[in-house]
Structure 1
Amino acid sequence: MFDLGRSFLASVERRPTAIAVADGKLHKTYETWFNDIQSVARALEGFGLRKGDRLLVVMQNRWQMATLHWACQFSGIIVTPVNWRSTAQDLEFFIADTAARVIAYDESASEAVRTSPAAQSLVHITAGLAENQGGHEFESLLGHQGETVIRAAPDDVSLMLYTSGTSGKPKGVPRMHRAERTAALAHVAQNLYRHDECTLGVMPLYHTMGVRSLLSMALVDGKFVCIPKFDPQATLEAIEKEQVSNLYLVPTLYHMLIEHPDFSPERVRSVDKLGYAGAPMSAGLIARVEEAFNPSLFVNHYGSSEIYTFTIDQNASRKPGSSGRAALNQRIRVVRNGAETPDEEVAIGEEGEIIADMNGDEAFQGYWQRPDADRKALRNGWYFTSDTGYFDAEGDLFVTGRVDDLIITGGENVSPAEIEDVLSLHPQVEEVVVVGLPDERWGNIITAFIKPRTSIEEKELDRHCIERELTRFKRPRRYVFVNEIPKSPVGKILRRVLREQGDSSTNSQ
């Protein structure tokens, strides 16, 4: 089986003059980009990185980040991209957890890097900074000749993504070349991509959706159009200019795009195929998106960083709310909540925990240095997703929520525990519970139910979150002040009751 480096090289040999990547006015062919990627791969080795080492990348979607990703695929270095909105405190954790010795970042993360003591001790690669902060400017890594770097094998680790957990500490998800390549091939097949496809690279490259878009385009000699940060106007302009043929977005971005005053079906007529993942899409939004784009294919994709694809529905509007059926490389079951084995399947229509077969070709092998997380999630050859759902009478899967109440907002996984820990430190907060409430734009909005000791304003709580360096997308968008937090007779917090209260108060406004 090919590793990813050889996969890219095959595209270079097939269509060397095809445009591989676009970023604003910059366009690079496969042949030109390959030369850049090789130069960067040699530079990374010059910084002392070797096969199996981790490169920490904190950038928005730009061609430099995509180049670093591919350079690592040739060198066998494990590319480790993290959220560009990470705080200095976040970086301290990532650096300690990965033992990274080199960090690559752009302006979006420069302040966090500058104020992180651990980051200051690393070799720096910078891209597009307004002011030079030292280190190696990305452009200085280009234009160097030397041997062709191609050191990775299919069973080597390609990248490590981080996913949130109920403990509040992110978990590293190492993924091998063979799993990444298989996932990208399945993505091509399930989304019916052809040679010369053009996709919008707006889903972040620290997210499995962004990585899949990047890899799948290379497999079909396609074009990856970088959008550093989602902006509806810039996105519409890029779709028109680059003649984007497919979109793979979270529902939030579709909502923002079609609601923008400058949107019109004529501006996006080049788009023929749509896909979404990361969060459910409401029936109303599905209908509006389908009317706006009139696609030949509209795919609902349900998966995770650990095992890329669980289920696929290639006709999303057929049965709104359904996640379809098991994908090409997977088997899915629904078992009793709290089940210890994969054999405790529930009846049709009964809600339980969704589990996936670890023998699937897209599966990871276990979390990075987290045996506790492995024990919780990996049992008897199956991955216990912590998602809840059920099969209907026709065999379609419906995902209903999270066993551990992880909130998915705008395609990002957010741990309530982390936010609760921050808010609980405010002296006027007696109790706090954070839940996600349904929202058409964001999928879920982070809502904090507060039992205050004395009267307190929302602005004060938001200021407290900022001072505690809670990442922006994790801060509550709504606060609800209550006299009591509902609990069961044994003291268990009844989050379901809070969600119902929040829904009813929203609907009554």
Structure 2
Amino acid sequence: MLDLGTSFIASVERDPTALAICDGDLELTYEVWFGKVSALVAGLDEIGLKPGDHVLTILQNRWENASLHWACQLAGLIVTPLNWRAKPEEIDFTIEDAEAKLVVFEAITAGAVAQSNKAANLPRLTLGEAADGIQSLSAMMEASAPDASPRAKADDWSLMLYTSGTTSKPKGVPRRHHAERAAAIAHVAQNLYRHGECTLGVMPLYHTMGVRSLLASSVIGGNFVCLPRFDVEGALATIERRSVTNLYLVPTLYHDILHHENFAKDRVASVTKLGFAGASMTDGLMTKLQKAFEPELFVNHYGSSEVYTFTIDQNAPAKPGSAGRAGINQRVRVVPLGAKDASTPAKVDEEGEIIVALQGDESFEGYWNRPEADKKSLREGWYFTGDTGFFDKDGDLFVTGRADDMIITGGENVSPVEVESCLSLHPHVVEVAVVGLPDERWGKIVTAFVKRSAPVEVDDLDAHCKTSGLANFRRPRAYVFVEDIPKSPVGKLLRRKLVAGEYAVEAGSHAERQTALS
């Protein structure tokens, strides 16, 4: 297996004059881009970085960020990216946990970096002009330097992402060059990417989906089109201007694009492939996307930062809710909830915990300095995901949510995803999220938070659930009409905020409306 630096050079040699990256009006071919990446490698050398050092990046999806990612691969450095919205204390934690040797930031993240106590003791690079002892990454790339040679091997560390911590500190997920490249090649194969495809680079480069898009684009000699920060009109304009051919997004971004006032089918006519990951997609949204885009391929990709691909369904609309079958580098099982090992699989249609094999080419090997997390999640060669789901009689996997999100009401288990998919098919439901809220009699009651497009009432939604065939015990017993559904920066639904009451009730609406418990 090639290391990623060698892989990038192979792409340069294969397609030197092909368009490699765009950012606004900037356009760089592979050979020109390689020159700037090489200059950046030389600049990192001058700072004194050594192979194996962590480089903490706090950047949006700019071409400079993508360039730095490749420079680190060539130099044998470990890219350690943070959300550009990170707070000073999060920066401090990451610097200490990863033992970072360099911090790279831009204007929008400069304030947080300036307030970080630990960043002040490290070399720092910024986009734009150098100032106050902080060097300019932009200036580095304008310098002249010999073509960089790869210094890393396939089994060296490439990247360390941090998983979001909801109840504890984030966990570092270190991944080796060979795992990253295997995941990129599998991504190309499973999404049927052609040579020279044009990818919208909007998923953050601190997220596994964004990194995968960047690496896969290189493998196919494609054009990676940067969109530093997601906004719908910006995305539509970029798709139209650059004739983007494939989209790989979380469902929330698809929802926002599709429901924007300026969306038009002819603006996205170049797009032939849709892929989604990061969260389940409701049946309603999937139906609308299929009609609006009429894609050649519509892929549901289910995975994680730790193991990238779990399963793939290359025809998602044909079986809504199905996550498909194991990816080309993977084995997947469902075991009964609470199982301590992988020895006894769950029965067909029996909901349990989804586990995946660690021997797969895309897998990580354990968390960074977190033996307690390894003990919980890594058992006898299997990764216990914490996700719940089941295999149907055809052998297709259905993901029902997180074990922690399961609603136990009156002794029955209710998956929020199933209820959300049902309600999403109502024509006046724009978005919906379902959680369990405490109830003296039932333990928890199924509660639906709904963003509506028209004044649909509780009785209408309850009738919709009944006629849709949703089991009686799964029907929501309470509805809350809200202005927006809370989400993370990458579009993941934040159920915990709804449980904690962190939401805005729709103007003029009652905070909560109860349905009959019959």
The verdict on a shared fold, with TM-score over 0.5 as the criterion, is yes
What percentage of aligned pairs have identical amino acids?
Answer: 52
1: distance between equivalents of 2:496 and 2:354? 28
Q: How does 1:403-414 map to 2 (within 5 A)?
A: 403-405=403-405
Partner of 1:151: 151
2: distance between equivalents of 1:372 and 1:141? 41
Superposed displacement of residue 107, structure 1: 2.2
Q: Does 1:19 align with 2:19?
A: yes
What per-residue deviation string (whole Å, max 9, x for no partner) do you get for residues 288-318 of structure 1?
1111111000000000000010000000101
Partner of 2:378: 378
Partner of 1:136: 135
2: distance between equivalents of 1:265 and 1:402? 35
Alignment coverage as a number of residue pairs: 443
2: distance between equivalents of 1:179 and 1:71? 18
- Gaps in structure 2 of 5+ consecutive residues: 407-415, 425-429, 441-487, 503-509
Partner of 1:338: 338
- On the 8 A contact 2:179/2:362 being kept in 1, the answer is yes
Partner of 1:239: 239
Partner of 1:301: 301
Q: Tell me which moved more, 442-451 or 166-175.
A: 442-451
User: What letter corresponds to residue 135 of structure 2 in structure 1?
Assistant: H
Q: Tell me which moved more, 141-150 or 111-120.
A: 141-150
Partner of 1:282: 282
Q: Classify the secondary structure of the residue corresponding to 2:199.
A: strand
User: What letter corresponds to residue 71 of structure 2 in structure 1?
Assistant: A
Q: Structure 1 residues 506, 114: CA separation in 2 closer, same or farther (over 3 Å shift)? A: farther
Q: Does 1:389 align with 2:403?
A: no
Superposed displacement of residue 325, structure 1: 0.6
2: distance between equivalents of 1:275 and 1:506? 37
2: distance between equivalents of 1:162 and 1:443? 28
- On the 8 A contact 1:251/1:442 being kept in 2, the answer is no
User: What letter corresponds to residue 264 of structure 1 in structure 2?
Assistant: A
Superposed displacement of residue 168, structure 1: 2.2
Partner of 1:96: 96
Q: Structure 1 residues 77, 506: CA separation in 2 closer, same or farther (over 3 Å shift)? A: farther
Superposed displacement of residue 167, structure 1: 3.7
Q: Does 1:252 align with 2:263?
A: no
2: distance between equivalents of 1:397 and 1:507? 32
- On the 8 A contact 1:247/1:275 being kept in 2, the answer is yes
Q: Classify the secondary structure of the residue corresponding to 1:110.
A: helix
- On the 8 A contact 1:173/1:306 being kept in 2, the answer is yes
1: distance between equivalents of 2:196 and 2:490? 37
Partner of 1:317: 317
2: distance between equivalents of 1:299 and 1:222? 19
- Gaps in structure 1 of 5+ consecutive residues: 407-434, 452-469, 483-501
Q: How does 1:53-452 map to 2 (within 5 A)?
A: 53-128=53-128, 132=131, 134-142=133-141, 143-146=143-146, 148-165=148-165, 167-405=167-405, 444=433
2: distance between equivalents of 1:476 and 1:128? 39
- On the 8 A contact 2:128/2:139 being kept in 1, the answer is no
Superposed displacement of residue 149, structure 1: 3.1
What per-residue deviation string (whole Å, max 9, x for no partner) do you get for residues 461-496 of structure 1?
xxxxxxxxx9998797657769xxxxxxxxxxxxxx
Q: Structure 1 residues 136, 245: CA separation in 2 closer, same or farther (over 3 Å shift)? A: same
Superposed displacement of residue 404, structure 1: 3.6
User: What letter corresponds to residue 26 of structure 1 in structure 2?
Assistant: L
- On the 8 A contact 2:282/2:420 being kept in 1, the answer is no
What per-residue deviation string (whole Å, max 9, x for no partner) do you get for residues 240-268 of structure 1?
11110000000000000011111101000
- On the 8 A contact 1:448/1:478 being kept in 2, the answer is no
Q: RMSD of the alignment, in Å?
A: 2.9
What per-residue deviation string (whole Å, max 9, x for no partner) do you get for residues 49-85 of structure 1?
1111100000110000000000011011000111111
2: distance between equivalents of 1:506 and 1:250? 32
What per-residue deviation string (whole Å, max 9, x for no partner) do you get for residues 92-135 of structure 1?
11111011121011123111111111112211111147x95651
1: distance between equivalents of 2:362 and 2:347? 27
1: distance between equivalents of 2:336 and 2:367? 24
Superposed displacement of residue 504, structure 1: 8.1
User: What letter corresponds to residue 185 of structure 1 in structure 2?
Assistant: I
User: What letter corresponds to residue 263 of structure 2 in structure 1?
Assistant: F
- On the 8 A contact 1:448/1:480 being kept in 2, the answer is no
Q: Structure 1 residues 121, 389: CA separation in 2 closer, same or farther (over 3 Å shift)? A: same
Q: Structure 1 residues 128, 264: CA separation in 2 closer, same or farther (over 3 Å shift)? A: farther
Superposed displacement of residue 338, structure 1: 1.6
Superposed displacement of residue 391, structure 1: 0.5
Q: Structure 1 residues 260, 115: CA separation in 2 closer, same or farther (over 3 Å shift)? A: same
1: distance between equivalents of 2:68 and 2:439? 44
What per-residue deviation string (whole Å, max 9, x for no partner) do you get for residues 216-246 of structure 1?
0000000000001110001011001111000
- On the 8 A contact 1:449/1:480 being kept in 2, the answer is no
Q: Classify the secondary structure of the residue corresponding to 2:144.
A: coil
2: distance between equivalents of 1:279 and 1:246? 19
2: distance between equivalents of 1:108 and 1:276? 28
2: distance between equivalents of 1:163 and 1:16? 36
Higher relative contact order, structure no. (Cα contacts within 8 Å, ≥ 6 residues apart): 1
2: distance between equivalents of 1:207 and 1:195? 24
- On the 8 A contact 1:306/1:364 being kept in 2, the answer is yes
Superposed displacement of residue 444, structure 1: 4.9
Superposed displacement of residue 148, structure 1: 2.5
Q: Structure 1 residues 298, 148: CA separation in 2 closer, same or farther (over 3 Å shift)? A: same
Q: Structure 1 residues 382, 263: CA separation in 2 closer, same or farther (over 3 Å shift)? A: same
Q: Structure 1 residues 13, 389: CA separation in 2 closer, same or farther (over 3 Å shift)? A: same
Q: Structure 1 residues 471, 285: CA separation in 2 closer, same or farther (over 3 Å shift)? A: closer
Q: Classify the secondary structure of the residue corresponding to 1:117.
A: coil
State TM-score, norm by structure 1: 0.82
User: What letter corresponds to residue 135 of structure 1 in structure 2?
Assistant: I
User: What letter corresponds to residue 105 of structure 2 in structure 1?
Assistant: Y
Q: Structure 1 residues 339, 170: CA separation in 2 closer, same or farther (over 3 Å shift)? A: same
What per-residue deviation string (whole Å, max 9, x for no partner) do you get for residues 129-170 of structure 1?
7x9565111222122313633101100011001112454211
2: distance between equivalents of 1:100 and 1:266? 46
Q: Classify the secondary structure of the residue corresponding to 1:317.
A: helix
2: distance between equivalents of 1:154 and 1:85? 32
Q: Classify the secondary structure of the residue corresponding to 2:225.
A: strand
- On the 8 A contact 2:80/2:161 being kept in 1, the answer is yes
User: What letter corresponds to residue 66 of structure 1 in structure 2?
Assistant: A
Q: Tell me which moved more, 162-171 or 149-158.
A: 162-171
Superposed displacement of residue 405, structure 1: 4.1
Superposed displacement of residue 505, structure 1: 4.5
